[in-house]
Structure 1
Amino acid sequence: MEDTEPRSTAPRSTEPKAADGEDGPPGPPAPDDESGTGGAGGNRDAEGEAEATRRKRRRTRIRRTAIAVLLVLLVPLLTAETALRINYMGDPADGTYTRNRDAIWLGHAWVDGRKDDADLAAFARRVKATGIRDLYVHTGPMEHDGTLPKSLYPRARWLVDAVHREMPGVRVQAFLGDVLATESPDGMRLEKAATRAAVVDSARQVLDVGYDGVHLDLEPLHSGDRNYLSLLDDVRAVTRARDAQLSVAAHQIDPLPGFHSFWGTVAGHPKWWSQAFFGQVARRVDQIAVMSYDTMQPLESLYGGYVAQQTALALEATPPTTHLLMGLPFYHENRFGHWNHAETVAAAVRGVRLGLSRTDADRERFGVAAYIDFAATEEDWASYRDGWVR
Structure 2
Amino acid sequence: MKWLLKRVAAGVAALLVVVVAAGALLGMRFSGDKADWAAGNGGDAAWLSDRWLTGEAGAEERGALKARVEQGEIGELYVLAGEIDADGAVTGAGGSDGAAGFLEWAGQELPEVRVLAWLRHRAEGSSLVEDRFDEQARTELSSAAGAMADAGFAGVHLDVAPVSVNDPSYPGLLEQVGEEIGDDAVLSVQALPVELVPGLRVPYFAIDRGERYWSKGYLRRVAERADVVVVPGHGSGMPVGSMYGGYMVRQVEETAEALDTERTEDTAVRFGVPTYEDERWGPEAGSEDASTAVEAVRIGMTRAGMRDTDAGVALYLLDTASDEDWDAYVAGWASPSG
**TM-score over 0.5 for the pair:** yes
Matching of residues 10-159 of structure 1 within 5 Å = 58-59=1-2, 61-149=3-91, 153-154=95-96, 155-159=98-102
C-alpha contact (below 8 Å) 2:235/2:285 kept by paired residues: no
Deviation at 1:340, TM superposition (A): 4.1
TM-score, with length taken from structure 1? 0.79
Q: Counterpart in 2 of 1:388?
A: 333
Partners of 2:133 and 2:285 in 1: CA distance: 36
Deviation at 1:72, TM superposition (A): 4.1
Q: Counterpart in 1 of 2:324?
A: 379
C-alpha contact (below 8 Å) 2:47/2:316 kept by paired residues: yes
Q: Which residue of 119, 130, 138 maps to 1:176?
A: 119
Matching of residues 186-201 of structure 1 within 5 Å = 190-201=132-143
Q: Give the gaps of 5 or more residues in structure 2.
A: none
Q: Counterpart in 2 of 1:311?
A: 252
Q: Which residue of 226, 230, 233 maps to 1:285?
A: 226
C-alpha contact (below 8 Å) 1:262/1:270 kept by paired residues: no
C-alpha contact (below 8 Å) 1:303/1:343 kept by paired residues: yes
Deviation track 1:326-349 (CA, whole Å, cap 9, x = no partner) reads 000012479xx9564521101001
Partners of 2:239 and 2:40 in 1: CA distance: 27
Letter in 2 for 1:172: V
Q: Counterpart in 2 of 1:167?
A: 110
Partners of 1:240 and 1:81 in 2: CA distance: 45
C-alpha contact (below 8 Å) 2:126/2:211 kept by paired residues: no
Deviation at 1:290, TM superposition (A): 0.8
Q: Counterpart in 2 of 1:4?
A: none
Partners of 1:201 and 1:389 in 2: CA distance: 37
Deviation at 1:373, TM superposition (A): 2.2
Q: Which residue of 370, 380, 383 maps to 2:315?
A: 370
Letter in 2 for 1:219: A
Matching of residues 270-349 of structure 1 within 5 Å = 270-318=211-259, 319-332=264-277, 340=285, 342-349=287-294
Number of residue pairs matched by the alignment:
326
Deviation at 1:266, TM superposition (A): 1.0
Partners of 1:341 and 1:266 in 2: CA distance: 22
How well do the aligned residues superpose, as a CA RMSD in angstroms? Answer: 2.0
Q: Counterpart in 2 of 1:25?
A: none
Task: List structure 1 runs of 4+ shifted beyond 3 angstroms.
Answer: 149-153, 180-184, 188-191, 337-341
C-alpha contact (below 8 Å) 1:121/1:166 kept by paired residues: no
Q: Which residue of 218, 221, 233 maps to 2:160?
A: 218
Deviation at 1:240, TM superposition (A): 3.4
Query: Measured at CA, do residues 165 and 217 of structure 1 come closer, stay the same or move farther in structure 2, by a change above 3 Å?
Result: same
Secondary structure in 2 aligned to 1:375?
coil
Secondary structure in 1 aligned to 2:164?
coil
C-alpha contact (below 8 Å) 2:88/2:141 kept by paired residues: yes
Letter in 1 for 2:104: D
Q: Give the gaps of 5 or more residues in structure 1.
A: 1-57
Partners of 1:191 and 1:211 in 2: CA distance: 24
Matching of residues 228-307 of structure 1 within 5 Å = 228-241=170-183, 243-307=184-248
Query: Measured at CA, do residues 283 and 72 of structure 1 come closer, stay the same or move farther in structure 2, by a change above 3 Å?
Result: farther
C-alpha contact (below 8 Å) 1:298/1:339 kept by paired residues: no
C-alpha contact (below 8 Å) 2:117/2:155 kept by paired residues: yes
Query: Measured at CA, do residues 118 and 191 of structure 1 come closer, stay the same or move farther in structure 2, by a change above 3 Å?
Result: closer
Partners of 1:94 and 1:114 in 2: CA distance: 39
Partners of 2:140 and 2:284 in 1: CA distance: 37
TM-score, with length taken from structure 2? 0.91
Q: Which has the higher contact order (CA 8 A, sep 6+)?
A: 2
C-alpha contact (below 8 Å) 2:125/2:209 kept by paired residues: no
Bigger radius of gyration, 1 or 2? 1
Identity %: 30
Letter in 1 for 2:72: T
